[in-house]
Structure 1
Amino acid sequence: MAKHHYFFAVKLPKEAKDFLYEWIQARKGDFPFARWVHPGDYHITLAFLGFAEKSMLNEVVEKVKPILEKESSFTLTLNSLGIFGPKKAPTIFWADVESSEQLDSIQKSVYRECEKTGFQLDKKPFRPHITLARKWKSEDAFEEGTLLQIREKDGKTFSFNVTEIVLYETHLDRTPKYHEYVSFPLAIPGG
């Protein structure tokens, strides 16, 4: 039986995935990366759990559920492109979002409950981002000047509503490879 890894993430709505995908498609030639992420896999990771026993998954779901039930849906705005890894040959190419107190608060709560359950989590500071591609594959060095702001054709920012946090399960043999294991809907204000 294949072992899957798991992570909590912000689920992007279809319109945000479509917008990002189309925006990138129009500029993809400027960014020679080896592997582009399927738009169905776009998300913002809150806590990466890695491989997990079902008993631990069930426990963390029971701890996170009442916390997320109290949260309302909120808006995020796409900001700009960025990279992780060596500046001349980055390993990760991403889009980020403008700062959001609610996103930071939800991430801290989810992260804390995962740690309490016994998961060994990454200690790096939370940097909300949507991975778009991996592994630079050009002889030329990456040019940081190509890291654009993400805007609509009329120059306006693109915002979207976050209505779900999801515990995803990874299936490396499928495309898209991230599948919803458990979904936590956020309350609709005034709903």
Structure 2
Amino acid sequence: MQHYFIGVKLPGDLACHLVDVRKEWQLEQSHKRLPAAVDLHITLLYLGAVEAEVLSELKSQLDELSVAVPEMDITLTGVSTFGNPLTPRVIYASIEDQANLHKLQSSILEKCQKLLLQVDLKPFVPHITLAKKWSGHQAVFSKEMHIERTSFTMRDFSIYSINPGEVPSYKAIHTIYLKDLTT
């Protein structure tokens, strides 16, 4: 069965910049998976396997957010890790705490729970995965890794299908556009 997540795709120029910066860190020596630029995203909620009827209803439920949630600026603030800092299972670009982003994620979670989806209930830590799956070859993470503070405007989010072994691995199957505050 097809697996899905709800997320925010990065603007192409920012994604390419992050991949260029990541190359300087030589993370291929320490991690098994380095997502392609086209796959860089912020996960709002992992869904896993979803039945077609439930997915259709979820699309309708999420469309309601387009009139309630405004576009928002997302700011990357640096580099951090999940797991042991010396052998991190994930190295990621950290994102500045943003109340509207957390509110959006909570709204999405609530809609999924009402549809009885078995979703991940771990605390939401907005981030952009740059490398994952520690290979065990060498300790690479250091305080020398940094990303300049940069921002982009989040205008939409999507439901993505997960397609392992393909590039792109994640394909938007339904996009929800946020309320434009300039009009």
* 1:135-160: CA deviation from partner (whole Å, max 9, x where unpaired): 223444354534x3311xxxxx2111
Q: RMSD over aligned Cα, in angstroms?
A: 1.9
Match in the other structure for 2:116: 118
Match in the other structure for 2:147: 150
Structure 2 distance, partners of 1:173, 1:150, is: 28
Deviation of residue 187 (structure 1)?
A: 2.3
2:160 counterpart of 1:163: no
Structure 1 distance, partners of 2:138, 2:19, is: 25
Match in the other structure for 2:79: 81
Moved more, 55-64 or 10-19: 10-19
* 1:109-152: CA deviation from partner (whole Å, max 9, x where unpaired): 01110111111111211000111111223444354534x3311x
Unaligned runs of 5+ in 1: 152-156
Match in the other structure for 1:95: 93
Structure 2 distance, partners of 1:172, 1:29, is: 20
Structure 2 distance, partners of 1:107, 1:178, is: 19
Structure 1 distance, partners of 2:66, 2:123, is: 21
Aligned-residue sequence identity (percent) comes to: 28
SS at match of 1:90: coil
Residues paired across the two proteins, number: 183
Whether the aligned pair in 1 keeps the contact of 2:29 and 2:138 (CA below 8 Å) is no
Structure 1 distance, partners of 2:108, 2:26, is: 34
Match in the other structure for 2:181: 189
Moved more, 104-113 or 75-84: 75-84
SS at match of 2:143: helix
Structure 2 distance, partners of 1:119, 1:101, is: 24
Correspondence 1:55-66 to 2 at 5 A:
55-66=53-64
Moved more, 16-25 or 132-141: 132-141
| TM-score, scaled relative to structure 1 | 0.87
* 1:52-83: CA deviation from partner (whole Å, max 9, x where unpaired): 10111111111111123322211111111122
Structure 1 residues 35, 51: closer, same or farther in 2, change over 3 A? same
Which of 41, 44, 47 is residue 46 of structure 1 equivalent to? 44
